[in-house]
Copies of this chain bind each other. A is one copy, B any other.
Amino acid sequence: MNIAVVLFPRVTALDAIGPYETLQRLPDATVTFVGHRRGEVRTENGFLGLTVDATFDEVTAPDVVVVPGGIGSRALLKDEVVLDWVRRAHRTSRFTTSVCTGSLILAAAGLLEGRTATTHWGAMDVLGGLGAVPTSARVVEHREERIITAAGVSSGIDMALRLAELLTDRQTAEALQLTIEYDPQPPFDAGSVEKAGPDVLARANELALTKD
C-alpha cells in the first residue's frame, strides 16, 4: 500500500504528521512525502524542516493521497502541476484525503464540485467559493467517490483512524488508536468556534501566524 503525503513550503506540520503517524503503521504500508522538489520544505514560521523524498512526477499511482493544509496551501490553488497531480492520482487512488486547508487544493482540482466537504473553521468561505458545499463536521466522508476531508489541523488524526478502518478492518484501526494512545483529554473545551466563544475566537485571530 503506497501512501503519498503532499508537502509544500509553509505547510502546517500536524496536518501532515497526524495522519502519517497512523497510516505509516498499517500493514505493508509505504509512506512517501511528495512535493515539487526533493529536499527540505519549512513549516509556516520556518521553525521546522520536513523532507520531500519524491517529486510529483515520481509518484504516479498512490493508493492513498493525503493533502495537508497551512498558509502555503493558498499558493497551490492555481498551481497546475499540483492540481493535475491530484486529479491524476485520484483516478486510481483508493482514497484521496485532505486535512485543514488541504481541502481547498482538492476543491481547486475539481474533486469537490457540488460535494460536502470540511476544512479549518477559518477557511469555510474560501472552500465554498471553490465549488464545494462547506460543512462544519470534523470528518466528511464520500465513500463511493473515495474522498475524505477533515477539519482543522488535529482532525487529521480522527480522519486517519477512520481511513485505517476502511483500508483494513476495525480491529486493526483500533489497535493503531491504542498504539498512538489516542485517548484525548484536552484540558479545556475550546476546540470549536461554538465551544470557544467570541473572546477566545478573537484571541485566536490575534495569534494567527498570518492573516491571509
Cβ of A102: which chain B residues have Cβ within 8 Å of it? none
A23: nearest chain-B partner, CB-CB: B47
Cβ of A186: which chain B residues have Cβ within 8 Å of it? 157-158, 161, 177, 182, 184
Q: Mark A78-115, 1 if CB is under 8 A from B, else 0.
A: 00000000000000000000001000000000000000
Interface size class of A (residues with CB under 8 A): 35 or more
Query: DSSP class of A's interface residues: helix, strand, loop or mixed?
Result: mixed
Measured in the bound complex, the distance between the Cα atoms of B176 and A173 in whole Å is 28
**Is A18 close to B, CB under 8 A?**
yes
Q: Please tell me which stretch of A29-37, A57-65, A126-134 contacts chain B, meaning at least 4 of its Cβ atoms lie within 8 angstroms of it.
A: A29-37
Decide: A20 and B47 in contact? CB cutoff 8 A.
yes
**Is A73 close to B, CB under 8 A?**
no
Cβ of A171: which chain B residues have Cβ within 8 Å of it? 199-200, 203
A158 touches which of B14, B50, B185, B207 (Cβ 8 Å): B185
